[in-house]
Structure 1
Amino acid sequence: MIPAIGWSAAYSATPDSPAVYSRDVIAWDSAGRALVVDERKGTLVPASDPGDDGLTFRRLEERGRPGRIVPGDGWTAQLTWDHGGMTVERVLAWEIDANGNGGRPLFASPVGPMPLQSFVGVEGVEYEHATDATASTRA
């Protein structure tokens, strides 16, 4: 096994579900497959193998080297979806990579912090801070 740093596996509840969950890739096996923790079995399993949890594997995502996490402190993101809907999500924290780049927002999800890139179907996002509702940033 080769330790994996900075990779995650993305999953969805159904093949056409817009919500995507991620799990950290722990290692690569001798065949080059990404391995994640199967909490129920207490072992590492290939990320792409269907598990007992009913989640569908979508893709691997490179997250970069570990860096810092800073609190979201009052920031929200208004997400515009490809189906025309809109939701407002609280930014849980901002992820800064080891090179100081970042400001990548992390949102709360049932399986832990989730980056914006894990949402499927987002066409646009606008960030706003609670203390200055007039100063917003589009991404």
Structure 2
Amino acid sequence: MIPSKDGYFALYNNSDGHSIRSRPIIAWDDEGDALVVGSHGLKTAGSIAGFSGITRHAVPVVAAVPGGGWLVDCADEDGNSWTDRIVAWGIQADGTARPITTDPDGVTGDPTESVAKCRIYHPDTSAADEGRGWPAPAAASS
């Protein structure tokens, strides 16, 4: 087993089939498979439902601040769209901030990775701020 030191993460499709979540890769096994923490120890990343690939975050997150009510609209290559609530902002060592969302299982990730299109906004955004390629957020349906 070789420890993973370079910021690699396993990507997973959320149970809704759209959102992408990530888990840090802890190590690589003797066959070169990525290992992540499972409920009973290390598991190969590919053995967990929804596995979709591996990515690398070159700049580490050094702090986090609350999401402040921000939302992200995402769309995939097939034209499916969805909205996630940003639960926190990950502040990276270089000073940039990345949005962090979570799924019902508590797996967190950057919603802007592996999507065709995304838009981050605050629900208090005025109509004058719209028009950047996305329509205004739709009213909730019952």
Conservation of the 8 A alpha-carbon contact between 1:9 and 1:60 = yes
The residue number in structure 1 matching 2:45 is 47
Conservation of the 8 A alpha-carbon contact between 1:9 and 1:57 = yes
The residue number in structure 1 matching 2:88 is 93
C-alpha deviations, 1:65-92, integer Å up to 9, x for none?
Answer: 2322121102112234444454332211
Conservation of the 8 A alpha-carbon contact between 2:12 and 2:22 = yes
The residue number in structure 1 matching 2:13 is 12
Deviation at 1:60, TM superposition (A): 0.9
C-alpha deviations, 1:42-101, integer Å up to 9, x for none?
Answer: 2212223x25xxx14321111232322121102112234444454332211112211222
TM-score (norm 2): 0.68
The residue number in structure 2 matching 1:109 is 103
RMSD (CA atoms): 3.0
The residue number in structure 2 matching 1:36 is 36
> Residue type matched to 1:44 in 2?
L
Q: Aligned to 1:67, what secondary structure does the other structure show?
A: strand
The residue number in structure 1 matching 2:65 is 70
Identity %: 30
Deviation at 1:110, TM superposition (A): 1.9
The residue number in structure 2 matching 1:24 is 24
The residue number in structure 2 matching 1:127 is 120
TM-score (norm 1): 0.69
Count of residues in Structure 1 that have an aligned counterpart in Structure 2: 128
Distance 1:3 1:59 in 2: 19
Distance 1:9 1:110 in 2: 18
Q: Aligned to 2:22, what secondary structure does the other structure show?
A: strand
Over 3 Å counting, the alpha-carbon distance change for 1:19 and 1:66 in structure 2 is: closer
Distance 1:124 1:78 in 2: 8
Conservation of the 8 A alpha-carbon contact between 1:4 and 1:25 = yes
Distance 1:89 1:99 in 2: 25
Conservation of the 8 A alpha-carbon contact between 1:29 and 1:35 = yes
